[in-house]
Structure 1
Amino acid sequence: EEYFHRILKPSPDEKRLVQVEAARARGESQGKPEEVVSVFSWFETWLCHRCLELSITQEELQQHLTARFTGASESSLDVRISALMNAGLLTRMVAQVSNQRGTCYWFSIPGIGVLAKNLVHGRTELEGLLSRRRYCEILQKELEKRKLHNSSLGMCFHIRDLLGSGKMKSSATTCGALLRLVRN
Structure 2
Amino acid sequence: MENVPESSSKGTKRRRTESSDAGNTSSSLENDLTFSDTLIALRIMRAQFPQILNVSVEPFILKSQLYSSVKNRTQVDRELESLRRDKVLRLFKLNTGQDDHAVMFLDDYLKQIDRVFKRMEGKTRAEFEVFEWFKIHVLDSKLETGIEHQELCSLLSLGGKVKDSHISLLINAGVITRQLIDPNMYWIAIPNIGSLLKGLVQGRKEIISLLSRRQYKEMMLAVLEKKRLRMSPLDMRFHLRDLIGSGHLRSDQTPAGIIIRVSKD
Counterpart Cα distance in 1 of 2:123 and 2:223: 54
Corresponding residue number in structure 1 for 2:51: 2
Shift of 1:146: 2.5
The two structures, once aligned, show a CA RMSD in angstroms of 2.6
Shift of 1:43: 0.9
Deviation larger for 151-160 or 45-54? 151-160
Shift of 1:49: 0.7
Distance 1:103 1:128, change over 3 A: same
Corresponding residue number in structure 1 for 2:201: 120
Residues 138-160 of structure 1: CA deviation (Å, up to 9, x unaligned): 22223234322111222232223
TM-score by length of 1: 0.79
- Whether contact under 8 Å (1:16, 1:89) holds in the other structure is no
Residue of structure 2 aligned with 1:109, choices 190, 198, 209: 190
Distance 1:49 1:129, change over 3 A: same
- Whether contact under 8 Å (2:199, 2:233) holds in the other structure is yes
Q: Give the secondary-structure state (helix, strand or coil) at the position aligned to 2:243.
A: helix
Larger radius of gyration: 1
Q: Give the secondary-structure state (helix, strand or coil) at the position aligned to 2:250.
A: strand
Counterpart Cα distance in 2 of 1:63 and 1:8: 29
Corresponding residue number in structure 1 for 2:144: 53
Counterpart Cα distance in 2 of 1:116 and 1:165: 16
Corresponding residue number in structure 1 for 2:86: none
Query: When you count helix as a share of all residues, which structure comes out higher?
Result: 1
Q: Give the secondary-structure state (helix, strand or coil) at the position aligned to 2:150.
A: helix
Output the amino acid matched with 1:181: V
Q: How does 1:134-145 map to 2 (within 5 A)?
A: 134-145=215-226
Counterpart Cα distance in 1 of 2:157 and 2:184: 17
- Whether contact under 8 Å (1:130, 1:137) holds in the other structure is yes
Residues 42-94 of structure 1: CA deviation (Å, up to 9, x unaligned): 1111111111222222222222333432xx4xxx6101111111111111222
Deviation larger for 129-138 or 17-26? 17-26
Deviation larger for 165-174 or 83-92? 165-174
Corresponding residue number in structure 2 for 1:182: 263
Ranges in structure 2 where 5+ consecutive residues have no aligned partner:
1-49, 62-102
Residue 170 (structure 2) pairs with residue 79 (structure 1) = no
- Whether contact under 8 Å (2:196, 2:233) holds in the other structure is no
Q: Give the secondary-structure state (helix, strand or coil) at the position aligned to 1:134.
A: coil
Q: Give the secondary-structure state (helix, strand or coil) at the position aligned to 2:143.
A: coil
Residue of structure 1 aligned with 2:119, choices 26, 36, 56: 26
The percentage of counterpart residues that share the same residue type is 36
Ranges in structure 1 where 5+ consecutive residues have no aligned partner:
none
Q: Give the secondary-structure state (helix, strand or coil) at the position aligned to 2:253.
A: strand
Residue 109 (structure 2) pairs with residue 16 (structure 1) = yes
Distance 1:31 1:121, change over 3 A: closer
- Whether contact under 8 Å (2:113, 2:131) holds in the other structure is yes
Residue of structure 2 aligned with 1:93, choices 158, 162, 179: 179
Output the amino acid matched with 1:32: T
Distance 1:158 1:68, change over 3 A: closer
Counterpart Cα distance in 1 of 2:202 and 2:120: 34
The runs of at least 4 aligned residues of structure 1 exceeding 6 Å deviation read: none
Distance 1:132 1:65, change over 3 A: same
How many positions carry a matched residue from both structures? 172
